[in-house]
Amino acid sequence: MKTTPFLFFLTALILVNITGLYTGVFLSDSSLYAQISKSFVTSHNWWDIYVNGHDWLDKPHFPFWLCAISMQLFGINSFAYKLPSILLFLASLFYTYKLAEKLYNKKTARIAVLMLASSVHIIISNNDTRAEAILIGLIMGSVYHLFSLSQRYATKDLLLGSLFCAMAIMTKGIFVLIIVFSAVFGHLLFKKEYAKLLQIKWLLVFVLTAIFILPELYVLYTQFDLHPEKIVFGKTHVSGIKFFLWDSQFGRFVNTGPIKGNGDPFFFFHTLLWAFAPWAIVGYMALFNALNKLAKRKRLTEYVSICGFLIMFIVFSTSQFQLPHYTNILFPFLSIMCAKYIMDNKDKKWLVKTFRVSQIIYIGVYFIMLSLIIIFFRADNWILTGLIIIASCISLVFVLRKFNTVILQFFSASLVCTMMFLLYLNLVFYPKLLTYQSAGNAAEYVNAHYPHNTIVNTFEEPLMEFTAKNNVGYINDNDLSRLKKTDQNKKIIYYVDQHFLDTLQTTGIQYHKIETFYGYHITKLKKDFFYYKTREHTLEPTFLIEIKNNNPISIEGEKNLH
């Protein structure tokens, strides 16, 4: 692909990803991570992580530090929370390009970058932000600089490779070393460059990486290891450092940690079909081609991409804890493999035919899904929907006429249709979907009508704490004696569900309803909610209330008050 169309598509894809900055924060993990990042800013305690007033040990601090710094600069909002993920996504594109160019050439690098930037789950994850959105840029930065270091010594590559590696560890855990060093050392092993494996510079990499992760070790030590009396995961004497170095990830993979799962060895095989859309079919072909050559002991040009992808893919598949977004960090390597495979076989009739069929399938799926959403979900923003569809159709006709080879025609057509589909999700579907998040709506209501009052959250919903500008505390219906009416002559607003109201009525505690909200757990879509005619029956009510009784209490969660 030539420079001009490459830059056009790359710019368009970046803009599509950026549209997710303004859609708001999703329930569950995204809102939890946003709330933790916010608590650093509001409490001025950047070392200890608390959720609902309790010590929280699950993820390392680094992504929360990045998001908190962004919030410090740009305010506490979804834009500031998502911005670090977008910036590191751009870093992943940069380093994927640099790595593919170093391994092959500019044309291959351009194809690889466009494939990565247009992968469906990459764009979705840049909206529903999790740790993987940040991790992908850190891993690719580390792999690129350490691979460059393996070819020749440069202090810049030594320092940056070690720093990126350390930041990746402080984002997701020590397991990221498997990906990084599988890619770099696997290449050296297959190339039989054994002498390069024994050079002193690798010891320097390990030492520098260990030094760079000291901030994470320190904060875990001070919050947990210094306080064996703290109850974490239902028991005392929990080591934060041990959890970070083993249980947080390796413990999940072998199912020995406090957080367990139930894995399916084929889970990621079928997950790739949609997560790496629209390139998954050609991705499987490229992977099979590389494995076939390895089995026949044929030499590959490079082994960075195959080792970087395959070894961690096998680890993920054999583990007991599996989630779709885990695969995102492997997509840069798969994109490079795909790009090389296409460039090597672009003039062969069998590939042209297969590629055309595979892309027609994905384009057809996009239009079917878009039609289903428009007809049955009814996001209602008809003007924007029409503009997106019209612009996409015009672009589709243009690229089919512009390029004179079937591969480029259908590659470009897939890019256009992917952008159309994801642009619709980011600008129309998701904004409508987020209106059914009751906790966010309730927090906005309190911000507007009771800006100086304390909110008490009666069930664990971090989106409330992230969105609310007021003080937020937490209690549950097992401790109703802690309810009270006023706090220094200010009304306390309770955010409750129907179960909590039933408990109040049973115990005879009087209350006054302020406002009712109807919502749905939008990350768990089901057909009755999706269909606009049956949606109303799936919505669950939540309430803002004021307690009429004046019982003396203190509100749990004071460490999280802001």
192: region left, alpha or beta (phi > 0 left; psi from -120 to 50 alpha): left
Query: Looking at 407, 435, 463, which one is the last position of a domain?
Result: 435
Dist. CA 230–CA 232, nearest whole Å = 6
Closest C-alpha to 87, from 29, 129, 137 = 137
Say if residue 19 is exposed, middle or buried (CB neighbours under 10 Å; 0-12, 13-18, 19+). Answer: middle
Does 67 lie in the same domain as 167?
A: yes
Say if residue 235 is exposed, middle or buried (CB neighbours under 10 Å; 0-12, 13-18, 19+). Answer: exposed
3-state SS, 219-269, equals HHHHHHHCCCCCCECCECCCCHHHHHHHHCCHHHHCCCCCCCCCCCCCHHH
Closest C-alpha to 24, from 528, 430, 492, 307 = 430
Does 256 lie in the same domain as 359?
A: no
Does 20 lie in the same domain as 76?
A: yes
Does 458 lie in the same domain as 365?
A: no
Does 443 lie in the same domain as 527?
A: yes
Query: Looking at 373, 408, 435, which one is the last position of a domain?
Result: 435
Dist. CA 282–CA 439, nearest whole Å = 42
Does 303 lie in the same domain as 203?
A: yes
| Model pLDDT, residue 453 | 86
Does 221 lie in the same domain as 202?
A: yes
Does 270 lie in the same domain as 147?
A: yes
With the CA atoms of 30, 250, 146 and 130 taken in that order, what torsion angle do they form, in degrees rounded to the nearest 10? 0
Instruction: Give me the domain span that covers residue 499.
Output: 437-560
Does 252 lie in the same domain as 108?
A: yes
Query: Looking at 345, 366, 401, which one is the last position of a domain?
Result: 345
pLDDT in tens, the chain (562 residues): 788 889 999 999 999 999 988 888 988 789 999 999 999 999 999 999 998 878 998 889 999 999 999 999 999 999 999 999 999 999 999 999 999 999 999 999 999 999 999 999 999 998 888 888 899 999 999 999 999 999 999 999 999 999 999 999 999 989 899 999 999 999 999 999 999 999 999 999 999 999 999 999 999 999 999 998 888 888 888 899 998 888 777 656 665 555 555 667 888 888 999 999 999 999 999 999 999 999 998 999 999 999 999 999 998 888 766 777 788 999 999 999 999 999 999 989 999 999 999 999 999 999 999 999 999 999 888 999 999 999 999 998 888 888 888 899 999 999 999 999 999 999 999 999 999 999 999 999 999 999 888 888 887 778 999 999 888 888 876 666 666 655 555 678 999 999 889 888 888 888 889 999 999 998 888 999 999 999 999 999 999 999 875 544 444 443 333 3
Report the domain count for the chain: 3
Does 128 lie in the same domain as 89?
A: yes
373 contacts 430 by C-beta, under 8 angstroms = no
Does 191 lie in the same domain as 108?
A: yes
366 contacts 388 by C-beta, under 8 angstroms = no
Using DSSP, state whether 533 is helix, strand or coil: coil
Dist. CA 330–CA 183, nearest whole Å = 11
Using DSSP, state whether 550 is helix, strand or coil: coil
Say if residue 317 is exposed, middle or buried (CB neighbours under 10 Å; 0-12, 13-18, 19+). Answer: middle
Q: What single DSSP character describes residue 47? A: S
Closest C-alpha to 118, from 329, 416, 341 = 416
Does 372 lie in the same domain as 245?
A: no
Dist. CA 6–CA 117, nearest whole Å = 12
| Model pLDDT, residue 250 | 65
